[in-house]
Chains A and B, each alone.
Chain A
Amino acid sequence: MFFHIVLERNMQLHPRYFGRNLRDNLVSKLMKDVEGTCSGRHGFVVAVTGIENIGKGLIRDGTGFVTFPVKYQCVVFRPFKGEILEAVVTMVNKMGFFAEAGPVQIFVSNHLIPDDMEFQSGDMPNYTTSDGSVKIQKDSEVRLKIIGTRVDATEI
Chain B
Amino acid sequence: MSGEEEENAAELKIGDEFLKAKCLMNCEVSLILEHKYEQLQQTSDDPTNSVSQVFEKSLQYVKRFSRYKNPDAVRQVRDLLHQIVILTYIRILARYQLAEFELCVLGNLCPETVEEAIAMVPSIKTRGRAQDDEAIEKMLNDLSLIKKFE
Which residues of B21-70 have CB atoms within 8 Å of chain A's CB atoms?
21-26, 28-29, 32-33, 36, 51-55, 57-58, 61-62, 64-65
State the CA gap A75–B59 with chains docked (Å): 12
Given A1-B24, A49-B32, A103-B58, 17 other A-B residues pairs in contact with their CB atoms under 8 A: A1-B9, A2-B23, A2-B25, A3-B21, A4-B22, A36-B53, A47-B32, A75-B32, A80-B7, A81-B9, A82-B7, A82-B9, A85-B108, A86-B108, A102-B62, A103-B53, A143-B109
Closest chain A residue to B30 by CB distance? A2
**Shortest Cβ distance from B15 into chain A, in angstroms?**
9
Closest chain B residue to A2 by CB distance? B24
Query: Does residue B150 face the partner (Cβ distance < 8 Å to A)?
Result: no
Which residues of B11-27 have CB atoms within 8 Å of chain A's CB atoms?
11, 13-14, 17-18, 21-26
Residues on A facing B (Cβ under 8 Å): 1-5, 35-36, 38, 40-41, 44-47, 49, 75, 77-78, 80-86, 88, 100-103, 141, 143, 146
Count of CB-CB pairs between chains A and B under 8 Å? 110
User: Are B57 and A103 in contact (CB-based, < 8 A)?
Assistant: yes
User: Are B55 and A88 in contact (CB-based, < 8 A)?
Assistant: no
User: Are B65 and A82 in contact (CB-based, < 8 A)?
Assistant: no
Closest chain B residue to A78 by CB distance? B18
**Shortest Cβ distance from B76 into chain A, in angstroms?**
21
Contact of B104 among A1, A46, A49 (CB under 8 A): A1
User: Are A5 and B10 in contact (CB-based, < 8 A)?
Assistant: no
